[in-house]
Amino acid sequence: MPNVKPEMRVIFVVILSLFTAFLFLPLLILFARSFEDEQGISVANYMSIWSDRNMIEASFNSLKVSAAAAFISTILGFTLAYAIHCTNIYRPLKSVLKTAIVVPMLLPTITYGFAIIYSLGNQGLLTKLAGRSLFDIYGFNGLLIGYVIYTLPPAFLLIHNAFKSIDKKFIIVSKLMGDGTLRSFANTILRPLIGTLGGAFVLSFILSFTDFGIPASLGGAYPVVATQLYQVMLGSIPDFNQGAVIAVLMLVPAMFGIWLLKHLERLNFHYDKLADTELPRHRIRDAAFGTISIVTVLGVLSIFAVMFLAPWLTAFPYDFTFTLKHVISTFQSSDLTRVYVNSLFVALLTALFGTLIAYSAAILNVRTSLMGRSALDIVSMISNTVPGMVLGISYLLLFNGSSLKGTFAILVLCNMMHFFTTPYLMAKNSLSRMNPSWETTGELLGDSWFNTVWRVILPNSASTVIEMASYFFINAMVTVSGIIFLVSAQTSVVASKIKELQHFGKFNEIFVMSLLIFFTNLIIKLLCDYLQKRRTVN
Amino acid sequence: MSHILKLQNISKHFDGKTVLDNISFEIGTGEIVSLLGPSGSGKTTLLNIILGLTQMDQGKILFHQSDLTHVPMRKRGFNIVFQDYALFPNLNAYDNIVYGQRNNKESASPQQIQEYIEFLELKPHLQKKIGELSGGQKQRVALARTLVTNPKILLLDEPLSALDGVIKESIKQRIQSIAREFKLTTIIVTHDPEEALTISDKILIINQGKISQFGAPQEIVHQPSNDFVDQFIIKQLHIKRQNIYNLFGEQYA
């Protein structure tokens, strides 16, 4: 590892200052505000929140629906990952399943709700195809479907990645040792994955519990914590102190979840070597897992099908004649195109600065011997724990009177803090696998530390940097919970505009805007995948 | 022979454990010196202290009588070939070789670079990516890259450990030729007694951070100074000789 250079210390101080100002300080203010009332400092806000029947009901509802969604997503995520890794189903089908299941990640969660209404509501596309209303979607059922669609992709990706590090040779060994099907499955698949499955459940639970987009569109008379928080903060009589209390309470399950994730990691297996093993043929297994996976993916995609149809029809679901008027009117509306340009602007800046900060933090942590560098891991853990809504409210409380209020800068900063952890871990993982002597070699060849990073480290991690930027961009395009409290009329972005359009019942515009986000994200994703592949080939 | 490098009473501790204990020795101009010892004996730490990568707790390093103890790595003018070569995979072999040229005024001229490339037989491989090179070729590219900076002392960390058979012998000869041809003082870290005895002018045997013996190969073979040298070096060579004898008969032993 290279000796510590002054420039390393400067970057370290800049990054820590940034997180102090835009992560720790806002959270501290939030915490302080939760204890403030007319009489001064007390726990009265906390007491009064639990005397509110609505809040108790919302908490119970949130816990119930999030736990149910997390359970279903974990089972479905596992089934899909198992079908891809441990069956002999047609290989191109595996690729299609892998790609299709993550499609919802390219859309804001607020769109999910409207897609569910237009698919499974009384006049919905799928309801019409089924010939009758399947169930009431405004409440538990709708939220459950929305949360499952939302959390299935990340749960699947987590389990899918864990499957990559399972040595399938042990399945053969287990069979040769005379294990029955169930015992073999339990010992060679379930046991090594148990930590990851627990992790997938916790992750899905936290995501569901803290999401605002889905209940905002589907909650109806079914209160959950996120909608209660929104009502208290931006309702007819805003109460910032009460809002601070709900935000702090929202942090509790997230903190518990992160703590649980850390403990679950210990249950994971680490194989020394992975053998490339051909799986034994088993037609019933392949048919069963293949069918369940196809049905799951088609089920998810069918919900979104309406989004691609409705904007092109005169008045879905009553008049199915083709028209371009909704699309044209959306593009002719200077207000909506401006909002789209705002979204692009915020996403690009988030991708640029977010990647820069996360990459620099990872370099300092992994590739220098700087004292105190492990503080960056603490920063990452805290950033991972704080839900978007909580961060948004903290910013609202701290920066309300400042010049940052209503600017693009505050949106970009909020996104950078909110989405920091995953790209930071991506960079850490990539940088730690590189030769540790490159910086020393560069120095001996006359390079400054910056030069070696620019000429050697960065080109060799280009693929990861592209992936990080893509992650920041896509998430900045779809997020609504973090920025809903921070946008102004001038800085409104697509995801927050959708919430506004919902108020006026402009669903066609909502779908056109959602399609814009979808195709923008798709183009970015394909472009980044192409660039990554090119880097790998080279 | 005049002394180019002098180490005086070098000590180093890590987490309260003594890694190097009062190490003193001198190296003559153009000499090849091997630092030999088992894993964990402190030989790589000593190499890193000479390079300037690791700070010593106590002692002095003199180069041509001038004190280098507090001179930073970059200004010492030494260079190293790491055990894993540390080649830059985003650049081809040629770009790796000339990497340091633009940074150092004192680095090799274009004519000298061609000389190194030809000497190390790298011409057919210059446009290859690092991933396309064999172990021996990578070693030669790393050597050329280091030589281009015209180092005052060449340091090699386990240069042969990742190579096998004939390649190993060929690289060994090249290292010797480089040291002789360019009159380059060379310090090699190795854990292989046979390697050290056949490549070096002098060998420094280290055990548990202390010098067990410092001398020419003949001296070490015929006059091992203590039990450790006898066990670690002489016994190993006897076993090898016995194996060859068993396989091929007495005339090879």
Separation in Å, CA A495 to CA A386, A473, A483, A487, A513: 20, 14, 9, 10, 9
Determine the pLDDT at residue B122: 93
Tens of pLDDT along A108-134? 888 888 889 888 888 888 888 888 877
Domain locations along chain B: 3-78+151-225
Measured between CA atoms, how close is A481 to chain B, in angstroms? 40
Separation in Å, CA A32 to CA A29, A166, A235, A402: 5, 46, 22, 18
Cβ contact (<8 Å) for B103 and A446? yes
Given a cut of 80, is residue A21 above it in pLDDT? yes
Report yes or no: A529 at the B interface, CB cutoff 8 Å: no
DSSP three-state, residue A435: coil
Q: How far apart are CA B145 and CA B107, in angstroms?
A: 10
What CATH homologous superfamily does A53-323 map to? Answer: MetI-like (1.10.3720.10)
Determine the pLDDT at residue A204: 93
Which CATH code for domain A1-33+326-538?
Answer: 1.10.3720.10
Determine the pLDDT at residue A126: 84
Among candidates A442, A443, A459 on the partner chain, residue whose Cβ is nearest the Cβ of B90: A459
Determine the pLDDT at residue A537: 56
Q: What mean pLDDT comes out for the span B109-130?
A: 92
Fold (topology level) of B3-78+151-225 = Rossmann fold (3.40.50)
Contact B14, B21 (CB under 8 A): no
Tens of pLDDT along A274-310? 666 677 777 888 999 999 999 999 999 999 888 888 8
Measured between CA atoms, how close is B172 to chain A, in angstroms? 22
Is-same-fold flag (A1-33+326-538; A53-323)? Answer: yes
Cβ contact (<8 Å) for A446 and B89? no
Measured between CA atoms, how close is B72 to chain A, in angstroms? 10
Residue type, A382: I
Among candidates A438, A444, A446 on the partner chain, residue whose Cβ is nearest the Cβ of B88: A438
Residues of chain A in contact with residue B79, where contact means CB-CB under 8 angstroms, are 444-445
Cβ contact (<8 Å) for A444 and B86? no
Determine the pLDDT at residue A487: 92
Ramachandran area for residue B127 (φ above 0: left; ψ -120 to 50: alpha; else beta):
alpha
> Beta-carbon neighbour count of residue A510 at 10 Å?
29
Q: What mean pLDDT comes out for the span B2-29?
A: 92
Tens of pLDDT along A487-521? 998 999 998 888 888 888 888 888 899 999 999 99
Among candidates B74, B84, B91 on the partner chain, residue whose Cβ is nearest the Cβ of A443: B74
Query: What is this structure's pTM?
Result: 0.85
Measured between CA atoms, how close is A1 to chain B, in angstroms? 9
Q: What mean pLDDT comes out for the span B81-95?
A: 93
Which 417-436 residues of chain A touch chain B by CB within 8 A? 435
Measured between CA atoms, how close is B173 to chain A, in angstroms? 24
Residues of chain A in contact with residue B88, where contact means CB-CB under 8 angstroms, are 438, 455-456, 460
User: Over chain A, what is the mean pLDDT?
Assistant: 89
User: Over chain B, what is the mean pLDDT?
Assistant: 90
With a pLDDT cut of 70, the percent of chain B lying above it is 98
Cβ contact (<8 Å) for B100 and A440? no
Tens of pLDDT along B131-164? 999 988 999 999 999 999 999 999 999 988 877 7
Residues of chain B in contact with residue A444, where contact means CB-CB under 8 angstroms, are 51, 73-74, 78-80, 100, 146, 149
Closest chain B CA to residue A449: B74
Q: How confident is the model at residue B210 (pLDDT cuts 50, 70, 90)?
A: very high
